[in-house]
Structure 1
Amino acid sequence: MSDVVLKPPTTYEKQIEILRSRGLIISDEASALSVLKRVNYYRFTAYALTFKQNDEFFTNTTFERIYRHYEFDSLLRQHLMKVIEYVEISFRTHISYTIAHNYGPDGYEDETMFNNNTWCKDFNEELCRNIAKSKDPFVIHHISKYSGKFPVWVAVEVLTFSWLSKLFKNLKSKDKKEISKHYNLRYEEISNWLHVLTIVRNRCAHYSRLFNQKLPISVKFKRQDKTKDIKENQLYAMIFNLKYLVTDSSTWNTWVIGLESIIEAYNDVDLRLLGFHEEWKLQLKKC
């Protein structure tokens, strides 16, 4: 039995008192209470870390300012999911197309398709688990009509983005090169970016904080971009490289305009804490 004693729970009113005792300015208590009744105190105070030291808030820090950072983060997550969806669907298409035409509709069942033969078993076991728990009509259809046989272009649709990333990584080099040609990229870059994107996507999907939160792995850059002074472990590094994965210029530029709108509406947010370069608008523009 653990001897660790957890903190006792606090009321919403007590949470207000704690924040005030640490120097946070709360001018509209009713509004602050409304926020804390909807947004977990622990989640809210994660955004306060930027504005305090040793549990004391910096002078003139307001509850409203911290909440604006929370709102900004929420909108950024939603906006990122739009472009990640584009990339994810694109890779499901290109990966399944390449496997189907090079190895046949059920080529993923053959260990010789993979760079690491032993990974074939892990992949197919994961695929079976996802099929077994899926209630999607297309899965039920293939189970009943094709005795549970799934062509690769159907199979990839039940994979998580994380496993799609792993699938790409474990393909033979010639197949990764074939897929990479669609993006005019090296497969080493794509493999790294897909891995990073699975992390960003999971943070977005689970409403985790993006603001002032470093990435657990470093983002790789194209050779010509390594001199741009972009921090490799912050969110902007991945946003910058997303422009190479979104091959349609119109789609990308429309997404960037949406990003600009969010940033302009929350111009008190310090973008440097997300790794944004001072020339980010110019850097993200796609001709």
Structure 2
Amino acid sequence: MPKIRQYNKKPFPYQELTQKLADRGLQIDDPAKVEKYLGNIGYYRLIGYGLPFEQFNCGQRLGRYTNETTFDQILNAYIIDRKIRILLLSAIERIEVTVRNTINHSMCCKYDSAHWFTDPSLFKETARFSHASFLKEIHRSTGKSAKSGSDKEKLREIFIHHYYSEYDAPEYPPCWMVAEVLSIGSWSKVYEHLSSSKDRKSISTKFDLSPKTLQSWMHSLTFLRNICAHHGRLFGRKLPLAPNNAKNLPLQDNNYLFNFVCVVWHMLKTISPSSSWLDQLHDELNGLTSSSSYYGFSENWLDEEFWLG
């Protein structure tokens, strides 16, 4: 049996937490400023941005910051990280909307049905996907399964309310309405579990990708979107769910944010060739007082052919 350790760390006032940072070698010019930001952000959240600046020995944290690390460096990393998350959410929104529209337009036109998603023969059942469960998810997302009338009204979008007030059948709204209430994660699973390889191919062609690559990238972008939407740290963080590199992107082995940015930019270029998103990202990275390598970017990353096309 492994030894069970009891967590016994106690809370401290912001003044003591500020002193603790100073005792660990962090340069602090204005203690009142530090206390203010600890009060707004939280000690635990903020020190996560200090991890890349800590001293390590054989992979073990030594509890001290590297020489000349300042509080303003850590705060700058926090602020830039927030701006980059907002940029990523903006990009992923465009990708998500285009992907779900492409799926629905392709499928409803081919099968001549606004309710194509109700046909179980168009899907393959796996341990990760059940068509019956998918339909239940639509019920939940539209408010159809809510027990009371008031709960239904709280859950429903105006267009969903209009559908159920005007029509008795079919049981589900048309796919272009359903598209508005399901998440990117749901559409990722829908695409993965389309039973026809021809259907998957016709959709992936829109993005100049193979079905396998689009499937991989949708999973990766779902994960990245959830981190950004829940205000998770990207700075100095290695990310799981690495995207497939079938398009020979300049991906790196470290799996920092850079790899995901490659995927985002490929899809954005396909959707909107005149997008200025990359310039905005570059501007934010230039605002870092520390190195952009903490996101996996090399010093001259924009000189690579992938970013110039």
Please, what TM-score do these two structures have when normalized by structure 1?
0.91
Kept in 1: contact 2:81–2:235 (CA 8 A): yes
Q: Name 2:187's counterpart in structure 1.
A: 164
Q: 2:116 aligns with which of 107, 123, 137?
A: 107
Q: Which amino acid aligns with 2:36?
A: S
Q: Name 1:238's counterpart in structure 2.
A: 260
Q: Name 1:52's counterpart in structure 2.
A: 54
Q: Which amino acid aligns with 1:263?
A: L
Q: 2:160 aligns with which of 118, 139, 143?
A: 139
Q: Which moved more, 1:29-38 or 1:140-149?
A: 140-149
Match of 2:29, SS state, is coil
Q: Does 1:68 align with 2:80?
A: no
Q: Name 2:106's counterpart in structure 1.
A: 98
Q: C-alpha distance in 1, partners of 2:140/2:102?
A: 23
Kept in 2: contact 1:219–1:232 (CA 8 A): no
Deviation at 1:125, TM superposition (A): 1.4
**Any idea what the Cα deviations from partners look like across 1:58-87, whole Å, max 9, x if unmatched?**
111111111111111011101111111110
Match of 1:157, SS state, is coil
Change (3 A) 1:286 1:127: farther
Deviation at 1:5, TM superposition (A): 4.0
Q: 1:128 aligns with which of 139, 144, 149?
A: 139
Kept in 2: contact 1:218–1:232 (CA 8 A): no
Kept in 2: contact 1:100–1:153 (CA 8 A): no
Q: Name 1:86's counterpart in structure 2.
A: 94
Q: Does 1:185 align with 2:187?
A: no
Unaligned 5+ runs, structure 1: none
Q: Name 1:32's counterpart in structure 2.
A: 34
Q: Which amino acid aligns with 1:156?
A: A
Change (3 A) 1:82 1:286: farther
Please, what TM-score do these two structures have when normalized by structure 2?
0.85
Deviation at 1:158, TM superposition (A): 0.6
Match of 1:250, SS state, is coil
Change (3 A) 1:278 1:190: farther
Q: C-alpha distance in 2, partners of 1:269/1:190?
A: 34
Match of 2:274, SS state, is helix
**Any idea what the Cα deviations from partners look like across 1:85-105, whole Å, max 9, x if unmatched?**
110110111011122112311
Q: Which moved more, 1:143-152 or 1:158-167?
A: 143-152
Q: Which amino acid aligns with 1:164?
A: W
CA RMSD for the aligned pairs? 1.9
**Any idea what the Cα deviations from partners look like across 1:36-59, whole Å, max 9, x if unmatched?**
110011100101111113211111
Kept in 1: contact 2:302–2:308 (CA 8 A): no
**Any idea what the Cα deviations from partners look like across 1:218-261, whole Å, max 9, x if unmatched?**
22113543xx452362211121122221212102xx00111111
Deviation at 1:286, TM superposition (A): 5.0
Aligned pair count reads 281
| Runs of 4+ residues deviating >3 angstroms | none
Kept in 2: contact 1:115–1:173 (CA 8 A): no
Provide the identity percentage: 29
Deviation at 1:274, TM superposition (A): 1.5
Q: Which moved more, 1:140-149 or 1:68-77?
A: 140-149
Q: C-alpha distance in 2, partners of 1:277/1:159?
A: 37
